[in-house]
Amino acid sequence: MKVSRTSRLNGEYQKEISEVIRRLKDKEPELKGLVSVTEADVAPDLKTAIVYVSIYGKGEAETKRSFEILQENAGYIRHELAQVMRMRTVPSITFRMDGSMVYGAKMDELFKKITYSTPDTTEETDADEE
């Protein structure tokens, strides 16, 4: 299967941005929580990139603040990428929150509630047969 250049770049940017964010935590002590880069979508012309992040903080305020710090440091992250990536242009970065992990966790909790609240049907069928 042939992999396109854009998909290879997306994976490489995702990995490198994740590493830069890890180092950014030392520089920005307010950047707290678990920050995961879930996807990077680089435009075909390599001018822009949308980076989807998932942040698990202690609360909504911490998560929101961490996201704001990422947005404020987008230029720094781009500069650090330029040092690592050997490309003529490094795209400008736009961060977006990825709610799929939070949504998945919420759905898991709902499924657990359904499983625990469903009565055991094997007891009912045994009683009906007698």
Distance CA 87, CA 12 (A): 12
Please classify residue 81 by burial: count the beta carbons closer than 10 Å to its beta carbon, then call 0-12 exposed, 13-18 middle and 19+ buried. buried
Q: How do residues 19-73 score in pLDDT, each as one tens digit?
A: 999 999 888 888 888 889 999 999 988 899 999 999 888 888 998 999 999 999 9
**Higher-scoring residue by pLDDT: 100, 21:** 21
**Any idea what DSSP says for residue 109?**
H
Residue 56: predicted pLDDT: 84
Q: Is the pLDDT of residue 9 over 90?
A: no
pTM of the model: 0.75
Domain ranges, ordered by start, for the chain: 5-98
CA–CA dist 52, 56 (Å, integer): 14
Reported as half-sphere exposure (CB side, CA atoms, 13 A), residue 4 has a value of 6
Which architecture does CATH list for 5-98?
A: 2-Layer Sandwich (3.30)
Q: Output the CA torsion sign for 66, 57, 14, 95.
A: negative
Band the pLDDT of 130: cuts 50, 70, 90: low
Percent of the chain at pLDDT above 70?
87
The band of 3, judged by pLDDT with boundaries at 50, 70 and 90, is: low
56 versus 75: the higher-pLDDT residue is 75
Task: State the pLDDT at residue 95.
Answer: 94
In this prediction, residue 127 has a pLDDT band, given cuts at 50, 70 and 90, of: low
**Per-residue pLDDT at 112 exceeds 90:** no
pLDDT at position 94 is: 93
